[in-house]
Structure 1
């Protein structure tokens, strides 16, 4: 089992820039696009993901330290530290159930697709860590492999169904034709945010407030352009972090670069994906009529939209403020502040880029996430200890917004605890 896990870990450590081109090549050959087209598509998609990861690296590399400075500047004293999704993912892959759950989850997806219970073929293998985290949660609570497998499958099915449900939305708003986004955290935050967003649109007066990048650009001219919005919001975050003039300028230009470059990186990736998506559609139409199948990819494809980035940047200081005033919260937001764009992607699409409504909905989502992450801290800490992760800053417990503050994984925790209490 250890050698199998080591082999799986080696492949996964290569990252999506290697795994995705290989997966696209295989899928292209299966759908009859030929080696040349499949190979070219795979390489183009790999290049697109290299670009996306570079831009996300600029985002997290600048936003993370700024968020830390804000936390230190405001002197927050919360006992549970948000270790962030990278630590949570690493701990999930290191769990005893990881190796067996990867093939199981892949088989489950194929079976559901054949039975027409889902339209999504999830080829984003690296993000299977969310399914494994659910399995690891079940295993920690019950010490049962059977429960671990059941919990991982339940989580996967819920994510695939949410991906199916939101696919028309993200295809229309983000222009991702034939794509769904079965990223575990994005899917988990979606239903709450969409419900809250829908309620906001029904509030008299509030429902009529509207500000999206297009209307902002029309009203403010050059200062309403996406890169200028990034520049302004980045400067505000730098000032809140207490940076000097040079530091404020650096983060402002970095956020402007993120707003400007990310849509171009997504466009490159889509160039590679279109031939495969069309081939898959033609292949299935010949055999199953007009049946629709979505290619499931990382939600990173959606986070570069100006409305998503703008909403996320505004929510960073709001999240810290909510953590301070929220009764019952013990979580110190830190590691996952830079990944807020992933949590709000579906909500922004549902609200058609309305930044005002998206920020309000996102604030409610953050509050609920902090409560769930606080409640999840004990089990989350045990998961991290299994991976020999040391809590930074003398924190007594560890959690995260991505795993611990994730609605679906929190429900898995409650279900596992109920199972343990009964059996």
Structure 2
């Protein structure tokens, strides 16, 4: 068991920028790519991950302090400290049973591929920590490790099913054939779909409203660099920055929004030949079968709609945290809600107006989930000593990813009537989501 734990920890410590490209090189060679082409694609993919993570880090480093300054200007004192996803991940990996989820996820993916229950090969293995975190939350409520891993396994299955359903939409957004996203954050799309379905039936919200459409309507003000500069400047002034600091933030935001699409092209350069080779391999050996490559969410980070939505949602997030009864969380380290904007991108097809509305309407769910799970996260931090917290301090994650299904699984694990009822409702929502995405996929296939 110790050997397995050591192997898993070593692999995961390599990080996505090393592990995923290495895995893709191996897959490329297996499916018949020339050695030169396989290594070239793998290294470019590693460069793309590093480049995208650098720009995301740069963006977060620039925007987060402004958002936090905006929060501090209010003077509101809420009791739960927001440690963000990095703190949650640190605590998660300190859980004694964390390493077990790695082979469980591989087994689930292998079985589903074998029986043709999914078309997706999930190579985003670093984000196995999200399933472990789900297990931790369920364990904190039920006290039963077996139920915790069953719940985490449910998440792994749903990720693959959604990756299949979302693939064409993701291909449309990224321009990369044969890839999809297996990050658990997209599970929230199931809950967002009914809201988007209603909004699509209102003429105002059904107009083409992505970045390219805005560019056609308002010209230079919708260019990536100009739009980033304007948003950064306004956020800087709202946060109480001096003119000089606001201008610096303006240029930082402009740089990030300009660089995102450029780096996104590297993913296309790396993954397109690999995807073609995999599909040719599958056609020769398994007639009628195709395979998708499941990757982390940064392949969608080249969509400026995501970042515009995230930044514009910040003031609404803060306002809601102050006025929602029962909320105990002041968004801080996790104030940039990527886990809401990305599924909103997929559900809306990149419609900025609907993305913003879905993000505002979805924010209370995140705040209440963060409040609900605060004691569990705090207790785990104290028991593992992975994160030092002062006596009496309470720790949480304000933008806890896919909060709906995590809450349902904790209640279901306790076999409460509420949990069973919510699980039934969620399954019905999933069926509805599947119907809607299948319909969209047919339309996309026709237009292509």
TM-score band, normalised by shorter chain: over 0.9
Q: Secondary structure at the match of 2:126?
A: helix
Q: Give the aligned partner of residue 253 of structure 2.
A: 255
Quick check: 1:412 aligned with 2:409? yes
Task: Report deviation, 1:148.
Answer: 2.8
Structure 1 unaligned runs (5+)? Answer: none
Q: 1:313 aligns with which of 308, 311, 314?
A: 311
Q: Could you say if the C-alpha distance between residues 306 and 377 of structure 1 is closer, same or farther in structure 2, counting changes exceeding 3 Å?
A: same
Aligned to 1:235: 233
Give the one of 328, 341, 345 matched to 1:344: 341
Deviations 1:40-99 (A, max 9, x none): 111110011111011001111111111111111111221122211111112112212211
Structure 1 CA distance, aligned partners of 2:392 and 2:122? 36
Give the secondary structure class of the aligned counterpart of 2:121.
strand
Which residue in 2 is equivalent to 1:363?
360
- C-alpha separation in 1, matches of 2:151 and 2:273: 36
Q: Which residue of 1 aligns with 2:51?
A: 51
Q: How far off its partner does 1:304 sit?
A: 2.4
**Equivalent in the alignment of 1:126:** 126
Distance 2:197 2:282 in 1: 35
Residue of structure 2 in register with 1:190 after alignment? 189
Paired residues for 1:125-164 under 5 Å: 125-164=125-164
Deviations 1:175-228 (A, max 9, x none): 23211111112x13222223222222224x543565332232223221221111
TM-score by length of 1: 0.92
CA distance in 1, matches of 2:269, 2:32: 18
Does the alignment pair 1:39 with 2:36?
no
TM-score (normalised: structure 2): 0.87
Change in 2 beyond 3 A, CA 1:277/1:239? same
| Count of residue pairs brought into register by the alignment | 419
Query: CA shift at 1:356, angstroms?
Result: 1.5
1 CA distance for matches of 2:384 and 2:341? Answer: 29
For residues 2 and 239 of structure 2, the distance between their equivalents in structure 1, rounded to whole angstroms, comes to 44
Q: How does 1:10-409 map to 2 (within 5 A)?
A: 10-185=10-185, 187-203=186-202, 206-208=204-206, 211-338=209-336, 340-390=337-387, 396-403=393-400, 406-409=403-406
Tell me whether 143-152 or 2-11 shows the greater mean CA deviation: 2-11
* CA positional deviation for 1:404: 6.7
1:211–1:270: structure 2 CA closer, same or farther, 3 Å change rule? closer
Cα distance, 1:17 vs structure 2: 0.8
CA contact (8 A) 2:187 2:343 kept: no
Q: CA–CA distance in 1 between the matches of 2:401 and 2:41?
A: 36
Shift of 1:7: 4.4
State the alpha-carbon separation in 2 of the partners of residues 33 and 390 from structure 1: 45
Distance 2:204 2:394 in 1: 39
Structure 1 residues 122 and 39: alpha-carbon distance in aligned structure 2, compared to 1, 3 A threshold: same
| C-alpha spacing 1:223/1:395, structure 2 compared with 1 (3 Å) | farther
Shift of residue 416, structure 1, vs aligned partner: 2.5
After superposition, the Cα gap between the structure-2 partners of 1:395 and 1:311, relative to the gap in structure 1 and judged at 3 Å, is farther
CA distance in 1, matches of 2:326, 2:288: 51
How far off is 1:342 after superposition? 4.1
Encode CA deviations 1:277-301: one digit per residue, 9 max, x unaligned: 1111111111222222210001111
Aligned-CA RMSD value: 2.3
